[in-house]
Structure 1
Amino acid sequence: MSDSPRSTVEITLLGQSYTFRCAKGEAEGLQRAARYLDKALAGVKQRAGGMSDEKVALMTALNIAHELLQALEARGELEEQASRLGRRIDTALAKVRLAER
């Protein structure tokens, strides 16, 4: 077992409360994540009509996984753009330094 300090966090998903243990200092982030998840679950449940809670959970998980992959791809593109800009800046600085000699 870990010796790191632990705390508990209570979250509510689709009207049902759950209590989890978490590392100290993570409760606020987990509560934010739970609010996001609960909102996503409620949205799928509302749009899906009579879908079972299990299918609502699976559909919501798929939607969130899709959002995550899109965000990771966008992040990768932004990192590549930043890298290209950094190389252009380095090239421009090298030219300026050469011209100053």
Structure 2
Amino acid sequence: MEHTLTRDAKKALATIYKAYKSRRASGEAKSSAVYFDTESHDATAIDAAVSDSLAELSNAKYVKTDICGNYTLTDSGIIFMENLPVGTIKEWLSFSAQFIP
């Protein structure tokens, strides 16, 4: 079942997925590439746009959050993103840029 997401949540999911893909490309194991620890000072993990959308992404089952604010990109989230055209992902990532003066 596909969930409808707000633009902010789409951007957050695209940001998380981009970081995941970068980690995998650099040889990181999937089990660690999907995990985002807010204590690690990872720019993606502590990004305000991402943290503001975690509840929505969690409700959609695209991420799983823990009590400390850390989160894991789920297989559902990965599958959802893998089935999107690359142009759509780029559009989601550039959405907020149009509002910066």
Q: Same fold (TM over 0.5)?
A: no
TM-score under structure 2 length normalisation: 0.34
- Between Structure 1 and Structure 2, the one with more strand by share is 1
TM-score under structure 1 length normalisation: 0.34
Pick the structure with greater CA Rg. 1
- Between Structure 1 and Structure 2, the one with more helix by share is 1
Which structure is richer in relative contact order (CA contacts within 8 A, separation 6 or more)?
2
